[in-house]
């Protein structure tokens, strides 16, 4: 295996871990007002992810670190073209963390309401930003635009539709996670939410796929449109399977399906644009993997650090999951 292939796999693995693990945190945050009928239920929802919250966010830190060190060309291109979305994502993460961590320190319902609003907003914004990032990459990065024009370009209807798809997919992922982690009435309520969210997610993903197929900008970017179509079909099928599995009580299998569903749009971008990893509008300014990677000596040096860090990180997260493996219910002690 070449260093180029190794680091490509490392980056894909880290991005996948971030989307799957922090993705359900976004879903839980967005569902807080809908499923949290009272303060006790909201605390139960937050405690379902509480032990894993910071560990899940580490995946994004790892993505940023690996991209800056090993993929400087890709980091520069993405941050330049999509900086409004990346800035919104980071601001949302900080807002969500503030809402969850400070919620228990205030007195009175007003404080908790404000912190819950911060949690919902801080979950909704990153979910929408990730969906819009997929839409923006499918249309191609704008070339030679001013800062204001670049931000306005992200408000294209197709990009906004992808943002809505991101919100619904991550919400569905969070609802399935709650069905997996919560027992009693709270778990039943989460399964009912899956039944409402799955058809909505299916409809919007299908609409986004159809809009992409009709878009001249998208067709100009995709070098392998069949692969992109397969990715969209996988997202649709995974949502439908998660809906059926959640209704039958197979929450773990449903969670696996929603994990595939949130990954499929990003896989569709990579597969559909190959061998390019970044493309400008109308296919201009396309960059391949070799164009964005650091030099071989840097990659070889970094490999000595990433392997032990990955082993330690995975072991710590596995231990954390094992330690907090029991399902929560209305009688469980709550610390958030």
Q: Helix, strand or coil for residue 42?
A: helix
Output the average pLDDT for the chain.
89
Q: Where are the alpha helices (DSSP H) in 215-250?
A: 216-221, 225-247
Rounded to an integer, the average pLDDT of 31-60 is 90
CA 236, CA 241: separation in Å to the nearest integer? Answer: 9
Q: Which residue has the higher pLDDT, 282 or 114?
A: 114
Rounded to an integer, the average pLDDT of 269-275 is 90
Tokens of 295: 């030099």
Rounded to an integer, the average pLDDT of 297-306 is 85
Range picked from 49-53, 113-117, 172-176, 249-253 for highest mean pLDDT: 172-176
Q: Is the pLDDT of residue 148 over 60?
A: no
Rounded to an integer, the average pLDDT of 61-78 is 89
| 209-260 residue pLDDT tens | 999 999 888 988 888 999 999 999 999 999 999 999 988 889 999 999 999 9
CB atoms within 10 A of CB 215: 18
Confidence of residue 155 (pLDDT cuts 50, 70, 90): confident
Give the pLDDT score at 34: 92
Rg (CA), the chain: 20
Confidence of residue 166 (pLDDT cuts 50, 70, 90): very high
Q: Is the pLDDT of residue 333 over 70?
A: yes
Strand partners, 182: 328
Give the pLDDT score at 150: 64
């Amino acid at each position: 295996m070449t260093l180029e292939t190794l680091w490509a796999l490392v980056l894909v693995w880290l991005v996948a871990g971030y989307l799957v693990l922090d993705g359900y945190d976004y879903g839980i945050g967005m569902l807080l007002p809908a499923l949290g009928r009272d303060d006790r239920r909201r605390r139960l929802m937050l405690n379902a992810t509480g032990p894993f919250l910071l560990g899940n966010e580490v995946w994004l830190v790892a993505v940023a670190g690996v991209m800056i060190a090993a993929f400087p060309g890709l980091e520069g291109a993405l941050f330049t073209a999509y900086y409004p979305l990346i800035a919104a994502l980071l601001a949302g993460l900080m807002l969500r963390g503030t809402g969850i961590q400070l919620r228990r320190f205030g007195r009175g319902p007003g404080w908790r309401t404000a912190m819950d609003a911060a949690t919902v907003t801080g979950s909704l914004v990153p979910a929408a930003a990730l969906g819009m990032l997929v839409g923006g990459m499918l249309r191609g990065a704008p070339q030679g635009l001013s800062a204001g024009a670049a931000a306005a370009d992200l408000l294209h209807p197709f990009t906004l539709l992808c943002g809505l798809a991101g919100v619904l997919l991550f919400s569905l992922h969070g609802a399935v996670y709650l069905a997996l982690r919560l027992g009693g009435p709270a778990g039943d309520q989460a399964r009912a939410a899956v039944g409402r969210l799955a058809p909505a997610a299916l409809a919007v993903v299908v609409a986004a796929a159809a809009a992409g197929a009709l878009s001249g900008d998208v067709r100009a970017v995709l070098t392998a449109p069949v692969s992109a179509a397969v990715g969209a079909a996988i997202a649709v099928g995974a949502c439908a399977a998660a809906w059926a599995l959640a209704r039958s009580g197979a929450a773990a299998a449903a969670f696996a399906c929603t994990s595939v569903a949130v990954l499929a749009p990003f896989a569709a971008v990579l597969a559909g644009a190959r061998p390019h990893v970044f493309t400008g509008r109308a296919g201009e300014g396309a960059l391949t993997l070799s164009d964005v990677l650091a030099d071989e000596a840097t990659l070889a040096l970094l490999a000595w650090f990433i392997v032990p860090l990955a082993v330690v990180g995975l072991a710590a997260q596995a231990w954390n999951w094992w330690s907090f493996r029991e399902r929560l219910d209305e009688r469980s002690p709550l610390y958030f």
